[in-house]
Amino acid sequence: MNPACLNLVEKQFFTFGEPPHELVLESGERLGPVTLAYETLGTLAPDKGNAILVVHALTGDSHVAGCYTQEDAKPGWWEIMVGPGKAIDTERYFVICANVLGGCMGSTGPSSINPVTGKPYGVSFPLVTIGDMVTAQKALVDHLGISRLLAVVGGSVGGMQVLAWCARYPEMVRAAIPLATTPRHSAQSIAFNEVARQAIMADPHWQGGDYYGQAKPDLGLAVARMIGHITYLSNESMRKKFGRQLKSRDALSFHFDAGFEVESYLRYQGNKFVERFDANSFLYLTKAADYFDLDDYAATGPGGAFKGSRTSFLVVAFTSDWLYPTEQSRALVQLLKRSGLDVSFCEIQSDWGHDAFLLPSERLHTLVEAFLSRIFRENLAGE
């Protein structure tokens, strides 16, 4: 038995949007039925006031913490933060995490069966946005009978979902914790995503997105993952992990195999990724991230996305995150303050780059735990 897997969870499914009541997407297209895979931890309070929605990053899933069986080798992706006695304490809070719309971990996406054709959607699947993902999540929250979330928490693309939740449904979000995120992608971030997408589409096995039941574009997807993974690290983290260390410590190999340890690591990450992820979903989710711009939610013009909101925010950035650098979080904080909101901000010293929010950090743990405890107390007091 894995001692870390005493907290057992079950993957569940929620389906909505049956025709003629399809989900209307930001593009104007209609999609239905829609299924979301989700998991919950903890117990929902009788007044339903202790619910926290955790939203995952680009290639994550609903399995945020806990294990499916006591023999699981690996618990959820944020086990360090979510669970009994942890920063997001499941002895106090009811935690929900759903796989995003457009994903490939149980939620409706391009690999799902199109009910009209009986075949996988492929690229006939409509383009979805971060806002569409949040609309689908709201349908799930409504289904669970929760009218107001104590908090929405997420990092990276998950942080974009946090911001979209607060802009689109401010009355439903008591508090928000966007981590290592941005109000919009820079040209550089879009450029990295486009190179990754082109790697997939250049793979001859991609076949215009119609590869299901045949050889998959594994090579292109692996290269796309390698590109993305570089942006998640930092120069210092790669120096500490790999430096210029050779796989064969005594001499250069003089061939194009992975001679350096960093080359071997990236190839391993790429090959491991293709075992669990769908190439088309990668295309759709990166495009959704590129499309996200917080100003699009401002009905009253730029900077107005949070007017009228009473949500409290904890914004966290990391010093070595060059994908979404601290300056982008500071710009978000300034926007929130101009909107008159309760905002706390912290830049955490870290050498581990963009992925730092997924790694053990006593400072992050303390910040999240204290912020949620304050919000929980205020909520009990009716503030």
For the annotated catalytic residues, the residue numbers are 156, 321, 354
Nearest to 318 by CA among 352, 343, 344: 352
Phi, psi of 162 (to 5 degrees): -55, -50
**Whole-angstrom distance, CA of residue 312 vs CA of residue 147:** 17
Query: Residue 54 has which token pair?
Result: 């955790």
For the chain, give me the number of helices (H) and strands (E)? 9, 12
Please, is 261 exposed, middle or buried when counting C-beta atoms within 10 Å of its C-beta (0-12, 13-18, 19+)? middle
Query: Residue 147 has which token pair?
Result: 């009218």
Q: Could you tell me if 179 and 155 are in contact, meaning their C-beta atoms sit under 8 angstroms apart?
A: yes
Whether cis (ω within 30° of 0) applies to the bond prior to 33 is yes
Residue carrying the six token digits 């250069």 = 252
Q: Could you tell me if 347 and 318 are in contact, meaning their C-beta atoms sit under 8 angstroms apart?
A: yes
What residues form DSSP beta bridges with 343?
Answer: 313
Residue carrying the six token digits 């981590």 = 179
Query: What does the radius of gyration of the chain's CA atoms come to, in whole angstroms?
Result: 21
